Structure 1
Amino acid sequence: MNVAVFRPDDERIAEAIDLLESLGVVPIPDPMLEVAPTGETPREDAEYAIFTSKTGVELVSEAGWTSGEATVCAIGEGTASALREHGYAVDLIPEEFSSAGLVETLADRVPGRRVEVARSDHGSPVLTDGLEAAGAYVHETVLYRLTRPAGSGQSAALAASGDLAAALFTSSLTVEHFLDAAADRGMREAALAGLNDAVVGVIGTPTAETARAHGIEVDVVPDRADFETLARATVDRLDG
């Protein structure tokens, strides 16, 4: 059973391949995200500093950013683990691992406070708009841009030919880039049809909403927003 995975072409795709092989399926690595650092660093005078990805944490660590007196917030456990690995204390993780979850957790804490949001160029406005509506002074630093790698789309070809058993989408952008890659190959509709004959697993409600908006039938949205949980739940659905 071929299972497509779209993580960036670094240790994350290698770990995903190992995990999927251990679960008894054939991984189809098809990276849909390529990281282009901007060279920007977060402000160091904020009272709250928010990180939304492991990539962002790695970049600020390389740049020598220090948290100072800021309350450091991570969008989820994966980002929190990366922060700790790079020597940063993690003060807050929302119960729901999402932009909306961060806003809900911080809404009563940030009125009149300086909040730094450090993330990619494709960050959801739900986070910044929600914090501003709560009364925070929000500054956003774009740490990196996310582009689609040249040559992506092997999974789209497999979906179009009916040879894809499942797909694991880890962000709204991976959904959009999958469909763009299929369109570039002249097979968007066929790939979409093949995807809807497969088991589609996604991380989180925002990714699920994006997929459905593009006509993709979503089968698995695990309660815990991390890749291993997503992979296991999707393979379980295949086995079922």
Structure 2
Amino acid sequence: MKNVLITREKSQFEDVKSLFEKEGFNPIPFPTIKFEKIPLNNFNEKNYDYLIFTSKNAVKFFLKDAEIDKSKPVIAVGSKTADYLRKLGFSNIEIPDVFSAEGLKEYIDKNIDRFKGKKFGLIRALEGSNVLLNQSGKNYFVELTPVYKTSFNIPDNIEEVENLFSQKKIFAVVFSSPSTFNGFLNVFGYEKSMEFLKNVLVCVIGTTTEKSLKDKGFEVDILPDVFTFEEIVKLLKEKKP
């Protein structure tokens, strides 16, 4: 079985494990980041016309502190986020065509007749793209509500993974965010990371993640048109001998 390193946060590994196993891959958890909850203070949904959830994780952290009307108009970045909201009973959900900050801005701009003058509550991690925030006050208003923050994590299996890299037994590495990539650099350092990644298929989810790698001189082998793990698995399967 081909080994695929998954660098996303530990609790999220189980969500994608079976996707890889079904196609004959051996997914290996290597969480280079961890999440820490940020308490919500004085949040009032009535202050916003729309709530934007950038991930399933943002929904989970948000609802630990907040109870909101599930008929509230929400924009979900990604089909997984939308599916999770539906399961929770949310009924008024919109999804941008492209699952990224840029895709979100494009979606709002394309529907500006409907969104002009509206106020959005952007619910996400403390870290993230400022693309939408930079537009606030022009045709619409965006206010950030951070519900968690991301920090580097030191995985338990560093020695094992380093040996697999040295023996060229890693087929691919998946980075689902710039933070996971920067966490990888934090674990191995720049030179060793460059050495390890030049001998594997480097997969990224999203153009922001792609840019993060390329800005530091790393090559990207796989970037799906739709920014999901399902698409990563499909593309990896095409590469598998």
Relative to structure 1, the CA distance from residue 85 to residue 157 in structure 2 (aligned partners, 3 Å threshold; closer, same or farther) is: farther
Alignment partner, residue 125 of structure 2: 120
CA contact (8 A) 2:77 2:95 kept: yes
Tell me the residue number matched to 1:195. 197
Cα deviation, 1:34-77, whole Å, max 9, x if unaligned, reads: 11111116530201110001111112223243147742101110
Partner amino acid for 1:128?
Answer: L
Contact 1:160 1:194 in 2 (8 A): yes
> How many correspondences in the alignment?
233
* CA contact 2:223–2:232 (8 Å) conserved in 1: yes
Distance 1:110 1:156 in 2: 49
Q: Corresponding residue for 1:99?
A: 101
- 1:159 offset after TM fit, Å? 3.3
Q: CA 1:135–1:29 in 2, change beyond 3 Å: closer, same or farther? A: same
Q: 1:196 and 1:202 mapped to 2: Cα distance?
A: 14
Matched, 1:19 2:19: yes
Mapped to 2, the partners of 1:237 and 1:90 lie a distance apart of: 39
Change (3 A) 1:142 1:52: same
Aligned to 1:144: 148
Separation (CA, whole Å) in 1 of partners of 2:33 and 2:193? 19
Structure 2 distance, partners of 1:124, 1:179, is 20
**CA pair 151-7 structure 1, distance change in 2 beyond 3 A:** closer
The two structures have a TM-score, normalised by structure 2, of: 0.87
Alignment-mate amino acid for residue 39 of structure 1 = P
Contact 1:153 1:182 in 2 (8 A): no
Tell me, yes or no, if structure 1 residue 52 matches structure 2 residue 50. Answer: no
Could you say what secondary structure the match of 2:94 adopts? coil
The alpha carbon displacement at 1:190 in A equals 2.6
Identity fraction in percent: 28
Amino acid at match of 2:28: I
Q: For residues 204-215 of structure 1, what are the structure 2 equivalents within 5 Å?
A: 204-215=206-217
Change in CA separation of 1:69 and 1:18 when aligned onto 2, cut-off 3 Å: closer
Alpha-carbon distance in structure 1 between the residues aligned to 2:237 and 2:198: 16
State the partner residue of 1:37: 37
Please identify, of 49-58 and 160-169, the stretch whose mean Cα deviation from structure 2 is larger.
Answer: 160-169
Equivalent residue for 2:175, pick from 156, 165, 169: 169
Q: 1:57 to 1:237 in 2, by over 3 A?
A: same
1:32–1:174 CA contact under 8 A, matched in 2: yes
Report the equivalent of 2:82.
Answer: 80
RMSD: 2.1
* Alignment-derived partner of residue 6 in structure 2: 5
Matched, 1:182 2:188: yes
Cα distance, 1:105–1:162 mapped onto 2, change above 3 Å: same
Q: State the alpha-carbon separation in 1 of the partners of residues 164 and 92 from structure 2.
A: 41
Query: How far apart are 1:27 and its partner, in Å?
Result: 1.7
